[in-house]
Each structure stands twice: as C-alpha cells, then as structure tokens.
Amino acid sequence: MSFHDDPYYITQVLQGNINAFSHLVEKYKRLAYTLALKLVQVPEDAEEIAQDAFVKAFQALGSFKGKSKFSTWLYRIIYNVSLARLRKKQLSIISIDDDEHSDFDVCETDDLLTTLTLKEQHAALRSALDQLAAEEKALITLYYMNESTIKEITQITGDTESNVKVKLFRARRKLWKMLKYHFRDKIITVYEK
C-alpha cells in the first residue's frame, strides 16, 4: 500500500472521494488526541474534542488554502474546539490581582516548590492551571507541555507573535501568583522560622 502526502488526500476529498479523509484521520488522530488532552486534561473530553475537530476539518476542508501545513491548520481547529470546551466548563476564577499577599517573591515560591515531592509539584501546578482562564491555560499548555514555538502558537491561535508573548507573560505571572496564594501559609511558616 502506498502513502501520499496530505495535499493528495485533500485533493481527493475535494474531488468527491470522501474516504480519502480517513487517511488524514488515521495519520493525525494520535496527535489530535494528545494535543486536546494536554489542553483539557480529561481523556473523555480530549476524545470528543479530537472527533469534533476532525468533523470541523472535514466540513471546512474547502477553505484550507494550503498556506500552512495541514497539521498546523488542524491544530488550530483543535485549539479552538478545546478553548470552547474549557470556556463552557470554566469554574469561577479567583481574582489574584488584588491579592493581599502579592508581596511574596517568585524566588520564595520557587524555593518552596523545590521542597515538595514531584507528585505534590504536579498537583499544585495542575490545580493552579485549572484556575486560569481557558485561553491562558491553552497557551501555557501549548508552550510548556506541548513545547510549541511562539511561531507555531501564532499559527494555531491566529494571534500576532507579540500578542502571544504578552499573553504568555501575563499567564505565567498569573500562574506564579496562584501558586504563591496556594502556598501562602506554608511560605509564611517556612520564612518565619
């Protein structure tokens, strides 16, 4: 059985051979699920998001211009579907901009985090990530967990490079503040000794 590049299958689908889309699904289903899982962190939701993304990709295939790789275009769809799902499930977010404990230093939080076990660090980070707004969580996940470059993130989100950098900076700062808030009692105890 011979395999072809993505443009071949896209052309086949656009010419009426809808079965050719199954080759694209087969090729990218693992990547789609993995990205969705990293963004939403719930396996069942990630499966649904990946399926929804493929349906949307199939329906919008005629609008695919080929200016980027098919995988990048698909990632953008997955990103948007994931964001929509996260926004729908969004819990109330604690405002930390007016936090009375904002005088804690990042180094203090970092020092405390290094005293925790790896499991405790992951739990604390996961808890803080879950409190971020959907777009902030998605950006942090894409950049740090998916190891996407700023350029790749701009292609996925449709934002400018400078906008992505600013949003990442703000999301990181918010994440640190949440971790400080989460550990404020432990930090006070450690530094009062």
Domain locations in the chain as residue ranges = 6-89, 106-192
Task: Determine the topology of domain 106-192 in CATH.
Answer: Arc Repressor Mutant, subunit A (1.10.10)
pTM for the full predicted model: 0.61
Instruction: Tell me how far apart the alpha carbons of residues 175 and 21 are, in angstroms, rounded to a whole number.
Output: 40
Among 3.40.50.1100, 3.30.360.10, 1.10.1740.10, 3.40.50.20, name the CATH number for the domain at 6-89: 1.10.1740.10
Instruction: Tell me how far apart the alpha carbons of residues 62 and 10 are, in angstroms, rounded to a whole number.
Output: 9
SS3 content of the chain, % helix, strand, coil (to 5): 75, 0, 25
pLDDT, one tens digit for every residue, the chain (193 residues): 457 899 999 999 999 999 999 999 999 999 899 989 888 888 999 999 999 999 999 999 999 988 888 988 999 999 999 988 888 876 434 344 444 444 444 444 455 555 567 777 777 778 888 888 888 888 888 888 888 889 989 988 888 999 999 999 999 998 888 887 776 655 444 444 4
